[in-house]
Amino acid sequence: MTRRSAQILICLALLGSVSCAIRQARENLRNCEFDLEGLQLLGYSLSAVQLQVNVGIRNPNESEVVLDRMDFKVFAEGDEIGTGQNEGRTEIAPGQRAVVPLRVNATLGALGTALFRSLTAGGAIQLRVEGTAYIETILGELPVPFTIEEEALPKS
C-alpha cells in the first residue's frame, strides 16, 4: 500500500466516524421529550407584552445532549403571538431534564384575541410552540424540528 493510499483511507475513516457522531447527536436530540413548563408575564407596555415561555426538555438517552440554539414561533389559541430565538447553549445529562426560557415580545393586537378567548373559557391558554433546535457540528448546524402543544395557566 502506498503512502497516498494510506492517507486516503485514514481520511475516509475519520470522515465516517465524524458522520456517525453527527448522526448520533441528531438522533439524541430527536429522542428528547419537549413540553411546556409554564408561561410567565415579564412586563407590559401600551403596545406590547413581554412573556417567557418555559420549555422543558428531558433527555432519555444514554449520552449527553447539547442544544446550541432554537428558533421558534409561539401561538396562543391558534393565533401567532410572537417569534424568537434562544442563543444560549444548553447541555442535558443522560436521564436529566432542563428548562429553557424562551422570551417572546407579543403585540397587544396579536395577544388580545387569544386572551379574550382564554378568559371566556376559564383562564387557561392553549399554547403551541413550533420551532427548530440546532446542534453545531464541524460540518455546520443540524436542524431538529419540534412542536409542543399544551394548555397553560399564566403566572405573574
Q: Which domains does the chain have, with CATH numbers?
A: 3-155 (2.60.40.10)
- What are the grid coordinates assigned to 105, written together? 415580545
Query: What is the model's pLDDT at position 89?
Result: 83
Query: Residue 124 phi/psi, 5° resolution?
Result: -80, 145
Question: Amino acid letter at 1?
Answer: M
Span between the terminal Cα atoms of the chain, in Å: 70
- The CA-CA-CA angle for residues 41, 46, 47, to 5°, reads 85
Pairing of the two strands 48-58 and 154-155: unpaired
> Could you read off the pLDDT of 15-64 as tens digits, one per residue?
444 445 455 666 788 888 988 887 788 888 888 888 888 889 999 999 88
Query: What is this structure's pTM?
Result: 0.71
- Of the two residues 114 and 75, the one the predictor is more confident about is 75
d(Cα 73, Cα 42) in Å, to the nearest integer?
18
Query: What is the model's pLDDT at position 95?
Result: 94
- Of the two residues 5 and 134, the one the predictor is more confident about is 134
Contact 17, 23 (CB under 8 A): no
d(Cα 50, Cα 59) in Å, to the nearest integer?
29
- What are the grid coordinates assigned to 76, written together? 396562543
d(Cα 20, Cα 6) in Å, to the nearest integer?
21
Query: What is the model's pLDDT at position 18?
Result: 44
Mean predicted lDDT score pLDDT of the chain: 78
Query: What is the model's pLDDT at position 17?
Result: 46
